[in-house]
Chain A
Amino acid sequence: MTESKVEKRRFAMTRRRLILGGSLVGGALVVGYTATHPMQVAGAILQGGGSDPEPSVFGPFVRIGADDWVTVVNKHQEMGQGIHTALAAMVAEELDADWDRVRVVDARGNFRAYGPQLTAGSNSVASNWDTLRNAGAAARTMFVAAAAARWGVSPQSIAIRDSIVSHTGSGRSATFAELLTDASRQTPPQAPELKQPEDYRLIGTDRVRRKDTVPKITGGQVYTQDVDLPDMLVAMVAHSPRFGGKLARFDASDALKIPAVVDAFAIETGVAVVAENTFAARRGRDALRVEWDDSKAETRSTPELFRYYHEVAAGRTDIEPNVLETKGHPDAQFGSDVLEFTFDFPYLAHAPLEPMNCVAQIDGWDIKIMSGTQLVTLDQVHAARIGLTIPGKVDIEVLPAGGSFGRRGTATSDFVVECLRIARHTNGRPVKLIWTREDDMAGGFYRPMVHHRAWIELGPDGFPARWRHHVVSQEMVPIGGNFQNFEGITGSPYFVTASVVDGKIFSPSHPVQCGFWRSVGLSHTGMVMEHIIDQLARQARRDPADYRWALYQRAGAARHLAVLNELCLKSGWGSPIETGWARGMAITECFGTVVGQVAEVRIQEGRPVVRKVTAVVDCGIPISPDQIAAQMEGSIGFGLTAALYGAVTLKDGFVQETNFDSYPILRMNEMPTVETHIIRSANRPTGMGEPGVPPIAPAVANAMLILTGSPTTSLPILSGNALGNSNVSVRS
C-alpha cells in the first residue's frame, strides 16, 4: 500500500468515526471518538444513565466473581453478528481465562462508564481491540502480582492457564476466586504487557464459539418483542402511507369501542392506539379512520424517480455535485471510444425478522427504555429531548436484536422516539411499541435508490486511462457530503493506471428516509466497480483475475493481491466447469476488510441459480474462525437476496412491497454452499458483520456475463412475476 493511500484511508476512517459516532443536539453536542474535549463535555451532560454498572476493580468491562466466572461487559449491540463472542475472546485471551467459564452481559446505556455506545461500520472488533485486551491483560497482571505476593515468589515464575494461577517451581496453584481479594488490592497497571499473536491460545481457534446459542435454541432469549413489564400497554401507530405525509384528521370512535383498547391519540408520526394487548392494538388501529395531508409527501412512482435521477446524473438539474475523487484534469474531454456504464439500484428494506419495537416508561424525570438499538448514546440524547429531561436520566437496557442490519441505528432514533412520544400519554405506565411487518417494510430508512453512470477510456495497454464516475443518491445522514455512498469508489485500486479520475456524487433530496443498510455504500458501489472491471477485462480480452492482478500489483494493494491469489487457488479459477455453468469473481474492501468471492452460476428457467460460493477474507487477526465463516455465509445469503429480489418500489408514493410475499428473502432451497477461507494475518482485526455482503452480487453478475454475454445494468436481477422465490433447489 502506498504512503498516500494509507494517509487517505486514515483520514476516511477518522471522518467516518466522527460522523458515525457523531450526533448533534441543537448543533452542539459532539460525541466523537477522536476528540477528547467534546467527549468530556458530552460525558458531563450524559452522566452515565440510570443505574450505574456493577463496580469492578478490573475496570468497566471485566468482572470476576466468587464463583470463578469471568464476566465480560458488552457495550455494543448483539444483533447476530457475534460481537459477544469476539469481545469475550479478547478479554479471555489476555487473562488466560477458562473460555467455558466466561460469560457476556450487555451493558446498559452509560456514557461515563463505557464511552460512546454505538454499533456501526463493522467497527466493534476494531475499536475494542486495544481496550479489551488491555482490560484482560491488566486483570491478569493483578492476579499474577497477588499470587507472587502470597507465595513469596517472583511474578515471572507465575503462569496462568484456563483460569488457574500456578507457580511452576513449587506446583502451587489457585483459582481466580481464591485470589480475588488479593488481586483486587493491586493497582491496575496502566499499560500491561500484551501477548504476541503467535502466543494466542484462544483467539483464532475453533474454541471461540458463540456465548448465546443456548437461549436462542430454547426460546429463552428475551428480545424487545418479548419484554413484559407489570401494567404494560401495547401500542401500534397508523403511519402516513406516503413518505412526508402529515396527519390531517382522524376518527378513533370505532377503535375505542374495541375491548382492551385503552386510548388513541395523535403523535408526530401518526395516530397511536394503545391497548392492553397486541392484538387489541392491532384491531384498534385497523378500526381507525385517518385522513392524511399529502401536500408535502412523495407522490412519485419508482420509474419516475429513476428518470429524475438520470436527469440529475446528466447534470440537467440544479443539483450541484460533491467532488469526492479527483486525479489529473477532471474536466478532460473523453474521446469517442469511451465506454459508458449505467446502473440502477432500488430502495432496499433491512427487513430484520424482528420488526421495529421499543419499550419505554416515563416516570417524572426518569426515562426507562428497553430496546435492541445500535446507537444507544444517541438514543439517550433523543429520549431526553422528547421526555424533557437530561440524557443522564435516560436508562437504556440494551437487548439483543432479532436482526438489524443497520435498521436499528438511525440518526433520528426513529422508533425509540416514537415510543417515547406514546409513553408521554400513558401516565407512567410502560408501553411497548410494536411495528407490524408491514409498518417495518413501509417505514423507510432504506438503503437509498442509486443511479451510477461511469465513462471509462482504456489506454493502449487495455487498462483504465480515464475514469469519470457520477453517482446519484439521497444522503443517509445530512452530514459528510454523502461520502458514504461513494465508499468503494474512493481510493479504488482500479484507478491506479488512470491519469484522469473524476468522481462526483449528486444528492437529491426527497421525503423517503434513507439509512445505513448492511455494508452501506458498498452495497451498490461494490456491484458497480466489480462488474465494470469484468466488462473492462472482457473489452481488453484479459481474464478477469489476471486483469485484477495487474491492477492490484500496480496499485500496491497487497491485501487484495493475497485475497485474489488465494481465491483463484481455492475456487478452481480457470479449471473446467460443467457445461452451462460459469464462475464469476468479485473482490471488495469494506470497512477495512477485504473479501473475495467466486460464485458458480447457471441460468435455469431464465433465472440465475447459484450453487456454490468460495469466499476468501482478510480481516486481520481472525478472532473466531467459526463466526467469521458464519458471517460470510450470512452475508452471502443477505447479499444474494438483494441481488436476486431486493426492491422496495413506490407507486404514486405508496410502498408496494410490504411483507415477505412481495419482498422475498432467500430461502433454504436457494442457499448456495459456502466455503470460507481466512487469510493468515498479524494485522489488527477488522470487522466481519458487513464486508461479506458486497461481492456476491457482482460475482453472480460476472458469471452471468460469461453465460449470456450481457451485462447486468440494474438490480434486482429478477422482478415482476419472476420475483417469487425460486422453485428450484440449488442442489438438484
Chain B
Amino acid sequence: MSYAIFVNGQIHHVEDDGQTPLLWVLRDTLKLTGTKYGCGVAQCGACTVHVDGQPMRSCTLPLEIVASSQITTIEAVEGAEAEAVRAAWLARDVPQCGFCQSGQIMCAVALLRTVGSPTDGDVDTAMSGNICRCATYNRIRAAIHDAAGTLRGQTT
C-alpha cells in the first residue's frame, strides 16, 4: 500500500506494508539512519522519534497509524531545547560508542519541553527507558541539568 507520511517537515510517499515498523521506513526507505535499531521490542529507546511532539519508539509504531502525524527524527530535531541539549552533550563529551545517543537526545529534548527544571527523579523516570550499554548515564544526567540551566538563563 502507499502511504503519505510527514517526516522532518517534508511529505514522503512510501510504498510498503502498513505493518512495517516506522523505524525501518525511516532507515531503509527514507535513509534517515540516525534513528537506530537496538532491540526491536521497545526496551532500549535507541529508535525514539517525536510523533506530534511526543517521544515514541519507532520500532513499535506501524507505518499505517502514523500517516497523519508529524514525525521528527534526530536529523531534524530543533528548537531551544534541542540546541541546549546538543550543546550540553558536546560540552560534556557524553557519547562513547554513541549508538544510543540519538534516542537519548530525543527523549531529553522531550523531557525538557515538558519539564523546565527536571529533578533527578524526573530524569530517572523520563530516561530509564533508554539503555546506554556504555553506561554514560551520569554524563547524560549532568548534561540534561546543564541544558535546563541554559534554557532557564534564556527565559530570564
Contacts and interface: CB of A to CB of B under 8 A. Distances in A.
Given A217-B90, A221-B98, A668-B128, 12 more contacts: A213-B93, A215-B98, A219-B102, A278-B28, A355-B38, A402-B97, A405-B133, A437-B38, A627-B93, A633-B135, A660-B39, A665-B44
Contact of A669 (B73, B124, B134): B124
B123 interface: yes
B105 to A, nearest CB: 6
Contact of A277 (B28, B90, B141): B28
A122 interface: no
B97 A626 contact: no
Interface string A301-340: 0000000000000000000000000000000000000000
Given A353-B38, A353-B46, A403-B134, A79 B28 contact: no
B57 to A, nearest CB: 12
A661 B135 contact: no
Query: Which residue, A222, A279, A401, A729, has most C-beta atoms of chain B within 10 A?
Result: A279
A673 B97 contact: no
A16 interface: no
A219 B33 contact: yes
B80 interface: no
A638 B133 contact: yes
B135 A353 contact: no
Contact of B40 (A436, A673, A731): A436
A226 to B, nearest CB: 4
Interface string A502-526: 0000000000000000000000000
Interface string B9-29: 000000011001100100111
A600 to B, nearest CB: 15
Contacts of A668: 123-124, 127-128, 130, 137, 140-141
Given A219-B75, A729-B124, A212 B39 contact: no
A80 B38 contact: no
Interface of B: 16-17, 20-21, 24, 27-29, 31-41, 43-44, 46, 73-75, 86, 89-90, 93-102, 105, 120-121, 123-125, 127-141
Residue from B27, B75, B105, B138 with most neighbouring chain A CB atoms (10 Å)? B138
B36 A354 contact: yes
A626 B139 CA distance: 11
Contact of A351 (B98, B120, B130, B133): B133
A660 B131 contact: yes
Nearest to A215: B98
Nearest to B25: A279
Interface string A632-646: 011111100100000
Contacts of A424: none
A216 interface: yes
B131 A667 contact: yes
B135 A354 contact: no
Nearest to A727: B128
A400 B98 contact: yes
A403 B133 contact: yes
9 contacts: A225-B36, A234-B28, A353-B132, A354-B97, A401-B97, A403-B133, A668-B127, A668-B128, A731-B120
B97 A400 contact: yes
B96 A634 contact: yes
A403 B39 CA distance: 14
A209 interface: yes
Given A216-B101, A220-B34, A277-B29, A634 B134 contact: yes
Nearest to A354: B99
A210 interface: yes
Contacts of A437: 38-41
B131 A674 contact: no
Contacts of B43: 659-661
Given A225-B36, A277-B28, A660-B131, A217 B96 contact: no
A191 interface: no
Contacts, number: 183
A226 B74 CA distance: 14
Interface in A598-642: 626-627, 630-631, 633-638, 641
A243 to B, nearest CB: 22
A666 interface: yes
A610 B98 CA distance: 25
B128 A669 contact: yes
Which residue, A223, A354, A404, has most C-beta atoms of chain B within 10 A? A354
B27 A636 contact: no
Interface in A390-416: 400-405
B74 A403 contact: no
Secondary structure type dominating chain B contacts:
loop
A402 B99 contact: yes
B96 A81 contact: yes
9 nearest A-B residue pairs (beta carbon)? A219-B34, A637-B135, A402-B99, A80-B97, A216-B98, A80-B96, A219-B74, A226-B33, A660-B43
A671 B36 contact: no
B103 to A, nearest CB: 9
Nearest to B127: A668
Contacts of B135: 633-638, 641, 666, 671
A403 B140 contact: no
A668 B39 CA distance: 18
Contacts of B125: 669
A353 B33 contact: no
A659 B97 contact: no
A298 B125 CA distance: 41
A79 B96 CA distance: 8
Nearest to A211: B93
Contacts of A80: 95-98, 134
Which of A259, A401, A729 neighbours the largest number of chain B CB atoms within 10 Å of its CB? A729
Given A219-B75, A661-B41, A228 B33 contact: yes
A214 interface: yes
Interface string A419-459: 00000000000000010110000000000000000000000
Contacts of B130: 667-668
Contacts of B95: 80, 210, 212-213, 216-217
B139 A630 contact: yes
A215 B98 CA distance: 9
Listed residue (A210, A216, A665) with the most chain B CB atoms within 10 angstroms of its CB: A216
A635 B127 CA distance: 20
Nearest to A372: B97
Contact of A79 (B24, B90, B97, B141): B97
Nearest to A665: B131
Given A209-B93, A218-B74, A634-B136, A659 B33 contact: no
B72 to A, nearest CB: 11
A82 interface: yes
A732 interface: yes
B94 A213 contact: yes
A353 B100 contact: yes
